[in-house]
Structure 1
């Protein structure tokens, strides 16, 4: 691979000019800049990122803080995997790369821990990272608050944070839940149960609020025995559905706060001899890949997973360039009607 000195010789400019083309392009006239970039592309020249970070005190790396502790299943969730792909693609479009920081929620383990977020902030500054993207794993709110107050550009996904250079991106979770439950009411259901995510999780709490609002708007008083807490994963959906089916008056419809839990509920209903949607209507949330291929295909609330990445990248770039942060970004959530709710048979 060519060096910066070779590029400079071929273009008839100084090494310092080549450096400015890649680090401070606005300081180089357009003709020279285009000539250097053309030759660099022809020779497959890539600036040394470590040296670039040292000279500019800023790298093209964005740190990802995400607890991947093997004892916690969050990092394996299909929705989060899709979101991460969208984020990586959106940052790449701005010339930035995503660097996962080794994390753990266990303060007893060696290395940086979410129990001590100062270590991550120091790591970010030491490596001159452009900013941080924060993904909540369920119990990280206190650590995220410390990140938000650090002055490092931070964007959190699905958890509200406030700080001098911090913002967050989320979906209209309450609105999506309202649409799902209103749809079930419109199909004639009044005994509608819900399987929530973990209590205290912000998207889960918002979806529960939307569920209750939709029922009250329809003149149906929410029942405590029609609410079961899950953890967004399939097994908890199965357990919640089994609990509902054991009631003296089981529900005729269930809104699950994730597609994974909806699939678990579907399996429990089948095991009990019920037919979906003939005996039980079912709606999920997320619109992950399995929603469209399970039988019957799952009615769900789709989140804009690519939109999360675009919005997060835009917010990070705004803070890096000094024009942000703007307020939080709330993306629309859209009801996708398939077979599991019974609408196509009405």
Structure 2
């Protein structure tokens, strides 16, 4: 994983116009002192290891209090429940990693919009693949709109994504007229099986989770786009001077986030056998929590999809544990909010300790 950058790269002698890409060197390797880069890499690895260790300890502790927790059916249920958070979190993490205060608050509403568009088209007789493609496209367009407002209009990411949260939810209400869409047409069984079916003993949403996390990991660690994401998040100006199109990278990140959110919402609609405008409402908090708890720095340039997965799993286990122990549902928001605060404090302390 490319380390985050800390300063602009050396441009060489006066008058030289050759970029780092032209010389074959990686801008993010030149932009940060080796000692700090190595510290960041070690810190991230140790933090992610600590998150996975904490996840195992929590699982062990919960199993002592509620032995039913370790039963295979319950473990699959836990994985199925947090699979949607983790899948949306992959796109959210990419946005946050690009830095510049990047964040997407609209993902919850885009989940609902994707599911509503798809189920509405199914009810009109559209084939499943075409209906799903339309739902994903709706999320992609909304994500592109967010990205354009951030990169071209130069708006603070919080503003356009918060506005899109309301716009997407409003569009869902317009499409449904405020009523759940239960008529899935002639292809209802095929669609529902996507969310409620199994691959062997493994629920389809868990398979979707694995594919999404694997795809996100490959995208960020094995493609030029992934390298650009980390470089831009580490130091946008240094990346720009090195030949990276910063705006295009951030625009693509918001597009991916919108598409992933819509796709997760479609799968959730399939699992519930209904298209509902309220689907995904409030989930943006859990998604951001999963990313931050998993080690994705809110300042950008540092974090990974594997850490995000651990963060989502930890949230899923904690929520399931509270259900098994009979803790009132409204305490769940308290737990999620508290974990976000703790994770952000740890992130800030890490940055201060590293001298960033």
TM-score tier after normalising by the smaller chain length: under 0.3
Q: Which has the higher contact order (CA 8 A, sep 6+)?
A: 2
TM-score, normalised by the number of residues in structure 1: 0.21
Higher helix share: 2
TM-score, normalised by the number of residues in structure 2: 0.21
Higher strand share: 1
